[in-house]
Structure 1
Amino acid sequence: GELPQIYHEEENTQLSRKKMQKKIEKNAMKLLSVKRQMEKAWGQDLRSDWTLKELEPLIDSGLITFAWIKPDAFADHSLSIILSYISPHFELVSYKVYHMEEQHVETFYEEHKERSFFPRLTEFMTSGPSIALILRLRTPPGITSAPKTEEEQAVAQWRGLIGPTNSDTAREKAPDSLRAKFGKDGTRNAFHGSDSIESVKREIGMVFFGPLFKDGYSGL
């Protein structure tokens, strides 16, 4: 005969618990893989006790920038290959693996909320996990001074490395850039880079030290 409703509910609860456990295990494996690849790329133990107050002088001096490896690049490409392009130019200060939800996208990309492409951007940025990075510009051996010009600063160097916002434009105008290699189009463009020192402060403060993003896995 028909099984009692309560049995179905218990069975469904057990199934959902098993699914959740599998998801947790899968995420744990992915996080461990990311950690190993970060260590392999940079060969360093990350400091886990940075404060925003400590980072601010480095940001002001032009040595630090903020970057995202977006969901498309993280899902579709080997992370170790992506990191091999980044590590010669930048040291890793910290990273955070995060699966954004709608409220995170609305806060992070607040200036784009009224734009026609925003629903598409939200769908894309919530489609899977991504990696936030605090990057420090590598300086030549023996050079300890801050970059002299804006073009030499970490913000400009990272944006130059990733290339134009639209990946198709990047393939035409900057074929060696990261977006040309790993991006798909104008929305699914694989990477984000802060556009100014003020943006670096705001975005690092929000993602690494703010309450909204506190639940992500962080190197801090």
Structure 2
Amino acid sequence: MEKTLILLKPSAIQRGHIGHIISRFENKGLRIAGLKMMQLTDEIIDEHYAHLLDKPFFPRIKASMMATPVIAGCIEGLDAVAVVRTLTGVTNGRNAAPGTIRGDFSMSVQENVIHASDSIESAKTEINRFFKAEELFEYKLASFPFIYSTDEAKQD
């Protein structure tokens, strides 16, 4: 099974959408492998957003991401990266389709309530950035046989 990272941003925390957003992933049939609240540091933000460090808007992003703690989640499922990105919607909340997380909970490019890894490679790097190995859990969902057909995936 594939794993991916989500971050519920301060805009989600402040607006009381933690449960609403997490339930979207559970309702889809994805498994929560890890979940924690944490305050981001300068170092982790600089590393996570290294591709934006030289942009004039970077200080605004950093301030926004440090406004409150965030919720980091490791989500698992078949094609998890693509499925989570589809559920999340496009970056600009005003352009995100209704029914997506950003389409339903965001009106902003920056304050768009959630980050989701954009590739399998990014997911691996980001999961390792935000989680220690002992913070990720393997367990069987009782509903697994009703989420995937037997020829789609096997749960160990």
TM-score, with structure 2 as normaliser: 0.79
Query: Contact 2:8/2:71 (CA < 8 Å) preserved in 1?
Result: yes
**CA distance 1:219–1:65, shift in 2 (3 Å):** closer
Select the structure that is richer in helix: 1
Name 1:208's counterpart in structure 2. 131
Residue of structure 2 aligned with 1:188, choices 107, 111, 118: 111
User: Greater relative contact order (Cα 8 A, min sep 6): structure 1 or 2?
Assistant: 2
**CA distance 1:126–1:159, shift in 2 (3 Å):** same
Query: Contact 2:3/2:124 (CA < 8 Å) preserved in 1?
Result: no
In the alignment, structure 2 segments of 5+ residues that lack a partner are 138-156
Q: How many pairs are equivalent?
A: 135
More divergent stretch after superposition (101-110 vs 73-82): 73-82
TM-score, with structure 1 as normaliser: 0.57
Name 1:72's counterpart in structure 2. 11
Query: Contact 1:96/1:219 (CA < 8 Å) preserved in 2?
Result: no
* 1:164 and 2:90 correspond: yes
Percent identity over the alignment? 30
Counterparts of 1:176 and 1:154 in 2: how far apart (Å)?
18
Counterparts of 2:19 and 2:130 in 1: how far apart (Å)?
23
In the alignment, structure 1 segments of 5+ residues that lack a partner are 1-57, 138-146, 148-152, 211-217
Counterparts of 1:183 and 1:121 in 2: how far apart (Å)?
16
Structure possessing the higher radius of gyration over alpha carbons: 1
Residue of structure 2 aligned with 1:119, choices 28, 42, 59: 59
Deviations 1:173-192 (A, max 9, x none): x1111011222301111001
Flag as ranges the 4+ runs of structure 1 deviating above 3 A. Answer: none
Name 1:101's counterpart in structure 2. 41
Counterparts of 2:113 and 2:90 in 1: how far apart (Å)?
11
Residue of structure 2 aligned with 1:128, choices 57, 68, 80: 68
Q: Let me know the Cα RMSD of the aligned residues.
A: 1.8
Name 1:155's counterpart in structure 2. 81
Q: Compute the displacement of 1:200 (Å).
A: 0.8
Deviations 1:37-60 (A, max 9, x none): xxxxxxxxxxxxxxxxxxxxx4xx
